[in-house]
Structure 1
Amino acid sequence: MLLNQVPVFIFLIILSICEAKQLLDEEFGTDDVTSGLCDDFFHGTPWPLPHDSKGRGLARLCQNQIEDGKEGRIVFATMFSTTERIPVYTANTVVLHRDGKEHPRPGSKYWYRVSLALCSSDDHTFDPIESMIGHAEKHEMEQCRKFQAVTEDYTHNGLNLDRGHLSPNSINEQDLEKQLGTFTLTNAAPQFADFNREVWRVYECVAQHTILDYVPGEKVYIITGTHGVALDVNNNPWWMNGDDTDMDKNPVKIPGVYWKAFCYPGNKTHSAWGYAIVQKNENVYRKPDYNEYITLKEFNTRGIITAPFGPSCMDASFGVFSKVFENWDEYIDTKCPSYTKKKREEL
């Protein structure tokens, strides 16, 4: 009798697995299966999923560029929402050297490129693919704009919104190909200028300088993302171009928060350390405060994404990073002066 029941039992297991996969497909809009194409940019499980995934048309982009018909290397990995036209996050690995050459900031012409991969299909529920950042032909732009923002969507927006990098220009400036790769709107979202140019810029600067100060020449993992939606004065979800007054522009979601998670996995002689920071995207000036940093374990309770890194980082403390807290004001005044202070000094 028991032997006769075994096939039924196995059948029920297979059925439950199939049902679970169907639920995942419906929930996330993409299979939870990766090709390994750009898994190296993740520490731990690749492509952590946002908790608010349903209906966002998520695409997994292995960001590379096309120049003169030649495809470049993959420089980072971006999970992108094709319905909101903004990235959910960009994952990057960074190695900085104290004597490394720093390239100047590229010109704004690079913002006019698009992800050609998002121009080629109406179905983006696929495994990770090469983004192929480049220039589309004029007749292709209508198709391209269905699933991503273009630079014209940001111009004269009347809301004091910048094209806010996720993986920033500055931390990639020792690698020219990576640096150029950050100038794509699949790596940027609407970010209020006072937030972007002041407090967020300082936190990005601190990330860069603490690598140089404490782990030069070693690999760190950084994921920078967006979450939620900003609210307008009437407490309604806020989208750039959302009022349909300019039919030549497409709506682009304004994120409610920006976040950054940092992982140094350690080595035989140095312990792992990491941190996260979550900041509201609003057009106000805020003074940078080291009390805003949280451990990765605390970040994992915020309901933003599944664990961004492997256990060695998720269980780690601030480690040597906490040294920055001891002389915070002096540290940022010396290495990361505010945008307005730098402007005053230039006058």
Structure 2
Amino acid sequence: MNVSLLHLVFLLLLSSVCFFALSEVVGNNFSKCKEFFLNTAPPDFTPPWGVSVKPICQCIWDDNDKEMYLYATLYSTTWKIPVYSAYVFRESKSIGRCDVWYIEPQLDGDTEPCMRPKGYGTNIGTNQAVNRDYEKSGYDKGHLYPVLHTDNHLSMLATSTLTNAAPQNPDFNRNAWLRHEEAVIEDLESCDEAAYVVTGVVPDTKTIPNKKVTVSKYYWRATCCLKNSQYTGKGYYGPDNNGKVEELTIKDLQNKLSGCKKKRLFFEISGDSDVCY
């Protein structure tokens, strides 16, 4: 199956301001977690033929046994990796990391609405990745919504679901991509209010050794920040030819993802900066 950039066509709603906006599979929409997209308008993603995707409102049970929605993910049950995760960046805090990797029972037919530990359920793994898929694979579990960008304990826990991770080259994950995540923190902390972020992957044509989980060839991120009463956006893409993360305009990011300059953009470009439309 060819999963080249030409297949990754994002048709974003022009009515949205930017395109952005533990866990629940929500049919064909993000009705319970649209607050993670600015103007509550998620992007429209057109998957390649034969590729299935499921929107997930990522939730976890709080101390009072209430469902807490913490971000949104579009997940491919065919590739068994996320297409993107969308979240609101408020501020980054120093939170201890706990890598207890969760799965999504609903993806494999269970009625449980929120993420659970890996041992939960009997048919888990049919439509999603599990921990054993990554064992001795040579790849890291690369977060789309990273722990570094969370601001509380529940959000930290909720990022460690395998629906929020894709196989990532360890050297890139632990060096260039990590430095990029740190730089994004510095940039977004200067916003006047909370910022909207979406992070996604471009799948490769190969899988990790188990022949089940598709490798992520590229990672990308787009941010939308309110400064001086105007939303501005930035795009990021990597690894480039030098193994680094490239900062680029939203227009150029869109062109990379769509492979077609005639596709509708999710940002209106003005001057030297990207102005969220």
Shorter-chain TM-score range: 0.7 to 0.9
Query: Pick from 191, 199, 223: which aligns with 1:215?
Result: 191
Cα contact 1:89–1:224 (8 A) shared by 2: yes
Report the TM-score when normalising by structure 1.
0.63
Task: Please report how far the alpha carbon of residue 302 of structure 1 lies from its aligned counterpart in structure 2 after TM superposition.
Answer: 2.2
Tell me the equivalent position of 1:103.
95
Letter of the 2:141 partner, please give it.
R
Task: Please report how far the alpha carbon of residue 134 of structure 1 lies from its aligned counterpart in structure 2 after TM superposition.
Answer: 1.0
Mapped to 1, the partners of 2:208 and 2:162 lie a distance apart of 14
Mapped to 1, the partners of 2:225 and 2:271 lie a distance apart of 11
Mapped to 2, the partners of 1:253 and 1:65 lie a distance apart of 26
Paired residues, what number?
246
Query: Where does 1:236-315 land on structure 2 (aligned, <5 Å)?
Result: 237-242=205-210, 251-266=212-227, 269-280=228-239, 286-287=243-244, 292-304=246-258, 311=267, 314-315=268-269
Q: Which has the higher helix share?
A: 1
Q: 1:247-289, CA deviations, whole angstroms, 9 ceiling, x for partnerless residues?
A: xxxx1000221110111144xx4432111111138xx97356x
Task: Please report how far the alpha carbon of residue 55 of structure 1 lies from its aligned counterpart in structure 2 after TM superposition.
Answer: 1.9
Q: Which has the higher strand share?
A: 2
1:66 lines up with 2:61 in the alignment: yes
Letter of the 2:87 partner, please give it.
N
Structure with higher RCO (Cα < 8 A, 6+ apart): 2
Mapped to 2, the partners of 1:277 and 1:130 lie a distance apart of 35
Consecutive unaligned residues of structure 1, counting only runs of 5 or more, are 1-30, 122-128, 230-236, 244-250, 321-347
Mapped to 2, the partners of 1:176 and 1:307 lie a distance apart of 38
Query: Where does 1:1-347 land on structure 2 (aligned, <5 Å)?
Result: 34=29, 36-44=31-39, 46-66=41-61, 70-96=65-91, 101-106=93-98, 108=99, 110-111=100-101, 113-120=102-109, 132-135=114-117, 140-141=121-122, 143-157=123-137, 159=138, 161-172=139-150, 174-212=151-189, 214-215=190-191, 218-229=193-204, 237-242=205-210, 251-266=212-227, 269-280=228-239, 286-287=243-244, 292-304=246-258, 311=267, 314-315=268-269
Mapped to 1, the partners of 2:96 and 2:90 lie a distance apart of 18
**Structure 1 pair 191/33, CA: closer, same or farther in 2 (3 Å)?**
closer
Which of the two has higher C-alpha Rg? 1
Consecutive unaligned residues of structure 2, counting only runs of 5 or more, are 1-25
Letter of the 2:67 partner, please give it.
G
Mapped to 2, the partners of 1:105 and 1:317 lie a distance apart of 41
Question: C-alpha root-mean-square deviation of aligned residues, in Å?
Answer: 3.1
Q: 1:107-158, CA deviations, whole angstroms, 9 ceiling, x for partnerless residues?
A: x3x11x211221326xxxxxxx9951113656x23x220011111111111x
Give secondary structure in 2 for the equivalent of 1:61. strand
Identity of aligned residues (%): 26
Cα contact 1:48–1:307 (8 A) shared by 2: no
**Structure 1 pair 304/280, CA: closer, same or farther in 2 (3 Å)?**
farther
